[in-house]
Amino acid sequence: MDLKEIKKIIEEEGGKIIVTSEDGPALVIMSLADYRGKKEVKIENKVESVSKVPQELETESLKIDDLPF
């Protein structure tokens, strides 16, 4: 089986191929579109989790006692 056949299987089936070694899974082969889609989802989740600020902190003003001295 050559790379062209593997590409064709992935394109037709829309799946992934897992290559294993003695220690377990070693490689995962998937389409570039699937990889980019998963990467975009991870980035969006990180942005959402970072941008969430508790409501009470949004309206609270800083005081001199809040400075790290």
Question: How close are the terminal C-alpha atoms of the chain, in Å?
Answer: 66
Residue 47 falls within a domain, yes or no? yes
pTM of the model: 0.39
Q: Which of 31, 34, 38 is nearest to 8 (CA)?
A: 31
Assess contact for 61 and 40: CB atoms under 8 A.
no
Kindly report, residue by residue over 15-38, the tens digit of the pLDDT.
777 788 888 888 888 778 888 887
Assess contact for 45 and 52: CB atoms under 8 A.
no
Distance of CA 17 to the CA centre of its chain: 19
Give the count of domains, the chain.
Answer: 1
pLDDT-based confidence at residue 2 (cuts at 50, 70, 90): confident
Residues of the domain holding 47: 3-60
